[in-house]
């Protein structure tokens, strides 16, 4: 009889439950009076036809010029060649000790060389070092032929990976970067590719920091001379053709923050290094990357009605990491928009609102707010109590 009464009463008071539709915004941290935009130096002016600087973890663009303009990428192409090799190894279709027979075509490929010999067998591990450290066109072709049969088919693999990564301004026609009118990329695409390489194949990425590699009694230095100039630089790749000019994708990590710079179309080797250093120095000096919130952390507790708990924790589904002007981290203003009342049942991880992070007058982050625990429906008696409370609360 009591259960029937409770169920009837809850239905009678049900109109008050439309409070769930109302939303309100509150601060989840002490508010700071701040409305002016952050002040930071302008990005450097570089002697290059296009350039880009991003935070590797957040993807935030810190400086750019013609970053979406299609350019001949020269040997920057080999970043994708190595990426495809990494993918094949991850799938178990290629092993580091697997021996590859060098074809006449690979041996004859012009430009920079690893100096492999026709008819000999070379391990995948050595060829990969030849591609990454020595920028060997012959090594690139040997790997391409072994993986896909020929360079044209290997290029199709490269383009499939480019599409998946989101490289919308790129088309590959070979594994080396040798001149081809239909072979092009952009600074932003090369940065995205490098992001993917560092994240997906960190073991391979470590090869980009090696300064020398010897094969066939020939020792060659890494063409990225920033490795000698800046101990925080650990990659990535140089490139040069007459059409592309001097290019360099560089990456450095300082105090837990990793930046990726792309310089395309510089006038000489010294210029591409100098301009890359300018970009990296600008980024590290003027920006910082912070994990503002971690997933699973309770940002705030809110009342919940008709459930087995009185309150439910609210948080974010994924870590919130931001790159912001240095010195402005304490001026972030978090704003949480949630329903005026939360009602059970609620699943753990259920989206119930939105979080905004505001810096100055700009919203720099938007994301869902989720419950950190599940809240099942309570029994009829407890639900009746909540219904009565909300009924009289709504009359005020």
- The CATH code of the domain that includes 128 is 3.40.710.10
What is the band of 20 on the pLDDT scale with cuts at 50, 70, 90?
Answer: very low
pLDDT in tens, 110-163: 999 999 999 999 999 999 999 999 999 999 999 999 999 999 999 999 999 999
- Mark whether 198 and 253 lie in a shared domain: yes
* Element at 101 (helix H, strand E): strand 99-101
CATH label of the domain that carries residue 347: 2.60.410.10
Residue 65 shares a structural domain with residue 131: yes
Mean pLDDT for 331-335 is: 91
Higher pLDDT, 392 or 204: 204
Residue 306 belongs to some domain of the structure: yes
Q: Quick one: 9 and 149 in the same domain? A: no
Residue 238 sits in the same domain as residue 329:
no
Return d(Cα 31, Cα 377) in angstroms, integer: 35
Question: Is residue 278 one of the residues assigned to a domain?
Answer: no
Residue 284 lies in a domain: no
Does residue 44 sit within a domain? no
Q: pLDDT digit string (tens) for 258-282? A: 999 999 999 999 999 999 999 999 9
Count, residues in the chain: 396
User: Taking 60 as the threshold, does the pLDDT of residue 200 lie above it?
Assistant: yes
Q: Do 18 and 140 share a domain, yes or no?
A: no
Please identify every residue annotated as catalytic.
75, 78, 135
Least confident residue range of 96-105, 317-326, 373-382: 373-382
Which pLDDT belongs to residue 131?
98
First to last CA, the chain: 31
Between residues 291 and 26, which one has the greater pLDDT?
291
In a domain, 183, yes or no: yes
* Shared-domain flag, residues 226 and 362: no
Residue 322 placed within a domain: yes
Domain boundaries, position 212? 50-266
Same domain, residue pair 330 and 383: yes
User: What is the Cα–Cα distance from 298 to 292, expressed in whole angstroms?
Assistant: 13
Task: Compare 351 and 8 and report the one with higher pLDDT.
Answer: 351
Strands 311-316 and 362-371: antiparallel
For residues 81 and 157, the answer to whether their CB atoms sit within 8 Å is: no
Do the domain assignments include residue 276? no
pLDDT of residue 41: 83
Domain boundary pick from 231, 266, 301: 266
Same domain as 54, residue 31: no
pLDDT of residue 307: 73
Domain shared by 93 and 221, yes or no = yes
Check residue 341 and give its pLDDT: 83
DSSP-H helix ranges across the chain: 2-13, 77-90, 104-108, 124-132, 137-148, 151-165, 187-200, 202-205, 226-229, 269-286, 380-394
Residue 9 has pLDDT above 70, yes or no: no
Whether residues 115 and 252 fall in one domain:
yes
- Strand-pairing partners, residue 303, are 311
Q: Is 285 within the bounds of a domain?
A: no
- Shared domain for 235 and 335, answered yes or no, is no
**Residue 115: left if φ>0, alpha if ψ -120 to 50, beta else—which one?**
left
| Distance separating alpha carbons of residues 366 and 362, to the nearest angstrom | 11
Neighbouring C-alpha atoms within 13 Å toward the C-beta of 85: 30
CA 124 to the chain's CA centroid: 28
pLDDT in the model for residue 380: 64
Q: In total, how many domains does the chain have?
A: 2
Residues 123 and 166 in one domain: yes
């Amino acid at each position: 009889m009591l259960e029937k009464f409770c169920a009837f009463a809850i239905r009678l008071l049900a109109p008050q439950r439309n409070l769930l539709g109302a939303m309100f915004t509150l601060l989840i941290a002490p508010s700071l009076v701040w409305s002016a935009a952050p002040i930071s130096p302008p990005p450097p002016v570089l002697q290059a036809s296009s350039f880009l600087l991003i935070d590797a973890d957040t993807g935030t663009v810190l400086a750019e010029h013609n970053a979406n303009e299609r350019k001949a990428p020269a040997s920057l192409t080999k970043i994708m060649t190595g990426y495809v090799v990494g993918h094949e190894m991850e799938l178990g279709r290629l092993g580091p000790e697997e021996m590859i027979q060098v074809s006449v075509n690979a041996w004859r490929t012009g430009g920079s060389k690893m100096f492999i010999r026709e008819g000999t067998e070379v391990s995948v591990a050595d060829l990969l070092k030849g591609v990454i450290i020595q920028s060997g066109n012959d090594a690139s072709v040997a790997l391409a032929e072994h993986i896909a049969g020929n360079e044209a088919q290997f290029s199709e693999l490269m383009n499939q990976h480019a599409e998946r990564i989101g490289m919308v301004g790129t088309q590959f026609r070979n594994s080396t970067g040798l001149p081809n009118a239909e072979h092009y990329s952009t600074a932003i695409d090369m940065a995205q590719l490098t992001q993917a390489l560092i994240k997906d194949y960190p073991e391979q990425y470590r090869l980009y920091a090696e300064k020398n590699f010897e094969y066939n009694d020939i020792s060659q230095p890494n063409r990225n001379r920033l490795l000698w100039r800046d101990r925080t630089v650990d990659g990535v790749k140089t490139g040069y053709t007459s059409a592309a000019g001097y290019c360099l994708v560089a990456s450095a990590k300082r105090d837990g923050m990793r930046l990726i710079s792309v310089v395309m179309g510089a006038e000489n080797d010294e210029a591409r290094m100098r301009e890359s250093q300018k970009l990296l120095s600008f980024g590290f000096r003027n920006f910082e990357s912070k994990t503002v919130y971690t997933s699973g952390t309770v940002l705030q507790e809110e009342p919940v009605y008709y459930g087995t708990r009185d309150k439910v924790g609210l948080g974010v589904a994924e870590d919130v990491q931001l790159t912001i002007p240095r010195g402005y981290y304490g001026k972030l203003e978090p704003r949480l928009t949630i329903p005026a009342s939360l009602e059970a049942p609620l699943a753990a991880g259920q989206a119930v609102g939105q979080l905004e992070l505001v810096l100055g007058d700009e919203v720099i982050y938007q994301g869902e707010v989720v419950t950190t625990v599940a809240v099942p429906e309570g029994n009829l008696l407890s639900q009746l109590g909540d219904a009565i409370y909300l009924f009289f609360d709504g009359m005020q």
